[in-house]
């Protein structure tokens, strides 16, 4: 999933939103270098990506793409799903998208927990009002082209929006079915992360009490 979906799925806890952004910039094991709730946000980001990459609905959808694009199908659907989420935002969130956007980026502006690269990306998204503009197909096109420029080697992302447009109805239908399942999965994962956090706090408190005695 792309940035709007990750922030939407992390909404309700500030540190999870920070981690949702950092998930694209921090790789490898998490060793406690960041505060635990932020690391939980990174873990949630990874679980969302893993669930998405392996989901049978998306794999079936990707098989409809021209073979030229199938290697990049995950990137393509990540971007177009943000388009559908923006387009149908009132169905998924009670807060107007403009207000959600401001709340998220007020949190992320000059946030000391963000890496330099993550802060730069937050500033770009904020400055360009990307989430609202994702309703416009031109934003899908430009987003894919920009991603293509960042990838090593030759790739077809400069024409990927046209391929997505060919399968627009199928992709929109798939989005609605998949995103409902993803939200249920994320709800379970957030509960597990919260339970783990509570158990860890109890363990730390018990250890501190024992040490004092």
pLDDT tens digits for range 157-187: 999 999 999 999 999 999 999 999 999 999 9
The tokens 């946030």 sit on which residue?
111
Q: Please check whether residue 108 is in contact with residue 18, taking contact to mean a CB–CB distance below 8 angstroms.
A: yes
Of all residues in the chain, the percent with pLDDT exceeding 90 is: 87
Classify residue 110 by its DSSP letter.
T
- For the entire predicted model, the pTM comes to 0.89
The DSSP code sequence of 3-62 is: HHHHHHHHTT-HHHHHHHHHTTT--S---SSS-HHHHHHHHHHHHHHHHHHH-HHHHHHH
The ranges assigned to domains in the chain are 3-198
For 10, 23, 88, 124, the CA distances from 97, given in Å and listed in that order, are 15, 22, 10, 17
Q: Please check whether residue 2 is in contact with residue 82, taking contact to mean a CB–CB distance below 8 angstroms.
A: yes
């Amino acid at each position: 999933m792309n940035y709007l979906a990750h922030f939407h799925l992390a909404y309700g806890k500030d540190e999870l939103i920070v981690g949702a952004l950092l998930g694209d910039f921090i790789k490898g094991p998490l060793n406690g270098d960041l505060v635990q709730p932020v690391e939980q946000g990174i873990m949630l980001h990874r679980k969302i990506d893993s669930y998405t990459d392996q989901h049978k609905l998306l794999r079936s959808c990707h098989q409809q793409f021209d073979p030229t694009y199938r290697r990049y199908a995950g990137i393509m659907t990540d971007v177009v799903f943000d388009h559908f989420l923006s387009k149908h935002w009132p169905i998924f969130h009670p807060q107007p998208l403009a207000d959600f956007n401001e709340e998220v980026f007020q949190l992320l502006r000059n946030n000391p927990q963000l890496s330099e690269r993550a802060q730069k990306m937050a500033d770009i998204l904020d400055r360009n009002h990307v989430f609202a503009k994702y309703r416009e197909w031109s934003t899908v096109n430009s987003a894919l082209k920009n991603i293509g420029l960042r990838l090593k080697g030759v790739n077809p992302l400069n024409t990927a929006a046209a391929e997505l447009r060919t399968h627009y109805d199928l992709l929109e239908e798939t989005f609605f079915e998949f995103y409902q399942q993803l939200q249920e999965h994320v709800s379970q994962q957030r509960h597990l992360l919260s339970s783990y956090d509570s158990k860890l706090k109890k363990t730390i408190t018990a250890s501190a009490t024992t040490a004092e005695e």
